[in-house]
Each structure stands twice: as C-alpha cells, then as structure tokens.
C-alpha cells in the first residue's frame, strides 16, 4: 500500500505536464478531447503473479496525442522499476503508438479504423518489453451523448518476425506472457504489459460525466491467441477523472482476471491540452 500510494503521489506531482489516462494500444477510443495537442503523464504501481512467481513493479510514462479533424494519433513511452524473485530490473518499456481514423463522424455516432504499433525499446531479457515489433489493425465504434460516452473495438495484434529465430532457453519458472512453458520466445516475456505474440482482441469503454468536474470510467479487454503458444487473457479497468479546464487528473485501477501474468494495478494520471 505504501508503494502504491507513492506512485499515485508521483503522478499528481507531475500533473503540470499532462492529464488523462494513457491508453494502451488494446483499448478502445476514450471520450474525445477537442484540443489539438495533449501531453500526458501516468504512474503505475502493481503487484503481479506470473508463472507461479510473485513480484511488484512501479512505472512512469510520458505520452503525447494529436487530433485533427477525423485523425487522432497518440504515443507513449514508459519507464519501469521491476522487482521479481530473480532480482530488480530498471529500464524503458516498449514505445506504443496508435492512429485512429473516423470514417463516420456524426454528433451522436462515430465509426472508424485504427492501426497500432509497438517498438522494442524495452528489454525482453529484463522482462520489460516484447523484444520485437508488434503491429495490428482494428475497427471501432463510439456512441456520444450529453453525459455518456461509450466505445467498442475489435482488433488483431501480431509480432513482426519471421518465426525462424528461437530465443535462449527460459530460466526455470519463467514463461512468456500468455504462453505455454514450451513456447520459444523471449525469456519470461514482459510483466508490465503482458500480451500474446499474436492475438485477436475486443475491448469496451464507458464514461459517465455526472458533473463538469467529474468523469467516471469503466472498461475491459479480452484477448484470444491465434497460435498455439498463447493463452486467453482479460483485463478490467475502472477510474475517475477530474477535468479542470485544460488540465485533467485522475486515478484508477486495473485487474487481470485471465492469463498467465495477472496484475493488480493502481494508477494516477494527469494531462494538459492546448
């Protein structure tokens, strides 16, 4: 609890630099922000269990988003401090990016496509990154109302590799995220953002704004592997944001309910639009 509180305090201390949660690539669109640019900061603190091992990590991510007409692009880069039984590890996670395009953009409905990509800026050996580029298209649908915003998205994410290289043998008890113990991938797989090498995923988000200064958020993601070296994974999310003009701060939780790697995560975020 003391570590989680420290990570939450860190994000609020950095609230001058950004606001709003940093969505991962396997999350549907959030409530639209009419601003042209947004910078964001997010702090995480999580306990996890992976392949029978338990550990803890803290993370801090900076991101930026750009919106113009029917285009919305965003990217974020995290830095983690991972404490696992094999020892501590510090370093960057994978750089994540996503481009969303609205084909239908009406006052009450919007529909479009997206393309996500992550790049191996995180060390696979330290279990901070995938170790390869991940790419994937998706389709999304959103409903706009005065106080409610809801969105859903269906997509695919796949590893950009030729499948010929095999990683070194995994240390005992270390399995690839969402993979069987006999799968040939990077040792252990990433802890902070677990996912299958190739998977179909579906997600949904709902936001309710009972007042101008409060926004309640909830959502979830379900991913199913498209190859034999993976397992179904699912994550639930909930949080609250506090818009104050160009500044948005928020807190939230995430819980993995399916998958080899399961996290109990607390987060705090801040963002500034201009």
- Reference 24, options 195, 189, 188; nearest CA is 195
Q: Check if the beta carbon of residue 261 is closer than 8 Å to that of residue 48.
A: yes
pLDDT at 26: 66
How far are the Cα atoms of 130, 135, 181, 185, 202 from residue 165, in angstroms, in the given order?
14, 19, 17, 9, 29
Give yes or no for a contact between 198 and 183, defined as CB atoms under 8 angstroms apart: no
Rounded-to-integer distance, Cα 102 and Cα 90, Å: 38
Window from 1-10, 145-154, 217-226 with minimum mean pLDDT: 1-10
**149 beta partners:** 144, 207
Tokens 């399916």: give the residue: 258
* Euclidean distance between CA atoms 14 and 11, whole angstroms: 5
How is residue 64 written in tokens?
């930026």
| CATH assignment of the domain containing 26 | 2.40.160.40
Q: How many domains does the chain have?
A: 1
pLDDT, tens digit, 9 for 90 and up, residues 6-62:
433 333 333 333 334 455 556 777 766 678 999 999 999 999 998 888 999 999 999
Task: Note the pLDDT of residue 108.
Answer: 92
Q: Is the pLDDT of residue 64 over 60?
A: yes
CA atoms in the 13 A half-sphere facing the CB of 200: 4
Spatial CA neighbour of 85 closest among 6, 179, 229, 188: 188
Min mean pLDDT across 144-153, 222-231, 241-250, 259-268 is at 222-231
3-class DSSP state of 14 = coil
And the tokens for 216? 């309640």
- Per the structure, the complete domain to which residue 123 belongs is given by 2-273
pLDDT at position 107, please? 87
Answer yes or no: are the C-beta atoms of 175 and 260 closer than 8 Å: yes
pLDDT in tens, 158-211: 998 744 444 444 444 444 333 333 333 344 578 998 888 899 999 999 999 999
SS3 193: coil
Please check the confidence at residue 85 and state whether its pLDDT lies above 60: yes
Q: Which residues pair with 54 in a beta bridge?
A: 49
Q: Helix (H, G, I), strand (E, B), or coil: what is residue 16?
A: helix
The model's pTM: 0.80
- Of 151, 153, 132, the closest CA to residue 198 belongs to 132
CB-count exposure of residue 144 (10 Å: 0-12, 13-18, 19+): middle
Measured distance CA(259)–CA(199) in Å, rounded: 13
3-state secondary structure of 72: strand
């Amino acid at each position: 609890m003391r570590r989680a509180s420290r990570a939450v305090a860190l994000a609020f201390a950095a609230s001058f630099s950004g606001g709003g949660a940093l969505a991962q690539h396997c999350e549907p669109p959030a409530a639209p922000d009419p601003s042209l640019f947004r910078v964001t900061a997010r702090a995480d603190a999580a306990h996890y269990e992976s392949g029978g091992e338990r550990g803890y990590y803290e993370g801090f991510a900076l991101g930026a988003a750009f919106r113009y007409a029917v285009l919305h692009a965003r990217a974020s880069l995290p830095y983690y401090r991972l404490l696992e039984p094999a020892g501590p590890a510090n370093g960057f996670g994978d750089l994540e990016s996503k481009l969303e395009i609205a084909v239908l953009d009406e006052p009450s409905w919007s529909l479009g496509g997206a393309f996500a990509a992550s790049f191996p800026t995180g060390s696979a050996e330290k279990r901070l990154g995938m170790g390869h580029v991940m790419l994937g298209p998706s389709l999304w649908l959103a409903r706009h109302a005065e106080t409610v915003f809801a969105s859903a998205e269906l997509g695919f994410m796949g590893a950009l590799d030729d499948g010929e290289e095999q990683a070194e043998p995994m240390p005992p008890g270390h399995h690839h995220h969402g993979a069987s113990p006999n799968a040939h991938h990077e040792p252990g797989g990433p802890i902070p953002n677990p996912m299958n090498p190739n998977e179909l995923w579906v997600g949904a988000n709902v936001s309710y704004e009972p007042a101008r200064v409060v926004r309640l958020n909830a959502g979830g993601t379900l991913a199913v592997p498209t190859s034999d070296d993976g397992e179904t994974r699912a994550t639930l999310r909930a949080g609250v944001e506090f818009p104050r003009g160009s500044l948005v701060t928020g807190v939230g939780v995430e819980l993995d309910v399916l998958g080899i790697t399961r996290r109990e995560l607390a987060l705090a975020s801040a963002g500034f639009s201009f």
